[in-house]
Amino acid sequence: MSKAVVMGNGESRSWYNPDTKWDDVKTWGCNAVYRDAMPDSLVAMDYAMQQEIYDSGYTGKCYFSNWSIVPSEVADMMLMGFDIPDAFIHRSKNKTGQCVISGKDPATVHETVEYMMKLLPSLDMDDLKLKMEKDVGIWITYVNENDNIKDVGNPNLSTGNMALLLACHEQDAEDIYMLGFDLSIYDETVNNIYKGTDNYLPADAKGFNPVNWMNQMSEIFDKYKSKNFHWVDCKIKGTKSWHGSTVQDYHSNVKHLSKEEFCKELLLEDYK
């Protein structure tokens, strides 16, 4: 029976050693977990995080969004004739003959902020700008031949949910254990182990409205009804915050586990 442990970066997994390995369990990690461990597969959907991972020399298997390799001359030609401030151009360390170009248009971000300010005037606009302006600009990452990176296209999923999807589709795991999937609460500070570090929001930033993440997870749970999802230390366990119901009432293939039950099922002798 194929098993997978998918590590989100919510603070509920702070007790867990992300470098834990099993012979019969595949581990999936997200974004900055590479700073602390080398999971069997690492997933990153954020452009800044992708460049950080690449520049670090990380050699593990990676799954990146929009990872389309082009000749480096394309980046140089693309920038010609445009007065783009240097602050918005992010180049990786070592220039090679090939690169990946990604980005978020500052003008589009400004238009979106203006639209949201008119649509929802009750929002904290400073917080909205902080989040919308994160990772703005052009990211040019120079790459080498035969890198251990697979392009997952642009599926419009968060990194954690992309890792869940890959555990189901790519690995075809039958049992998926979810750690650090804490969702978020807008009126509380952002819930992330790596908050306040490079390429993350400040530690005092507000959380997010989790509706999009929940909708994405629901689609995955529904698509893979034959698989078993084990949600460890789920913060909304027993509450009717999942589309007006509990998670288990909505998805019969989702089971809640405490960290003690998780350790027992996967034969971990101790935990902190």
Per-residue pLDDT at 73:
93
Residue 170 identity: E
- Amino acid at site 103: G
Q: Give the tens place of pLDDT for each residue, 70-103.
A: 999 998 888 776 677 788 889 998 899 999 998 8
Among 97-106, 141-150, 157-166, the range scoring the smallest mean pLDDT is: 97-106
Predicted model pTM: 0.89
CA dist., res. 35 & res. 231, Å (int): 24
DSSP annotation of 18 reads T
pLDDT score at 104: 72
Comparing 209 with 67, which gets the higher pLDDT? 67
pLDDT, tens digit, 9 for 90 and up, residues 120-134? 566 666 765 666 667
Pick the CATH number of 1-65+152-272 from 1.20.120, 3.40.1710, 2.60.40, 3.40.50: 3.40.50
* Residue 109 confidence (pLDDT): 44
Domains of the chain: which residue ranges? Answer: 1-65+152-272, 69-150
Distance CA 33, CA 44 (A): 10
Q: What is the DSSP string of 223-254?
A: HTTTSEEEEET-TTTTSS-BTTB-HHHH-TTE
Strands laid side by side in the 3-7 sheet = 149-151, 61-64, 41-44, 25-30, 3-7, 175-179, 228-232, 254-257
Asked if 42 and 27 touch (Cβ cutoff 8 Å), the reply is: no
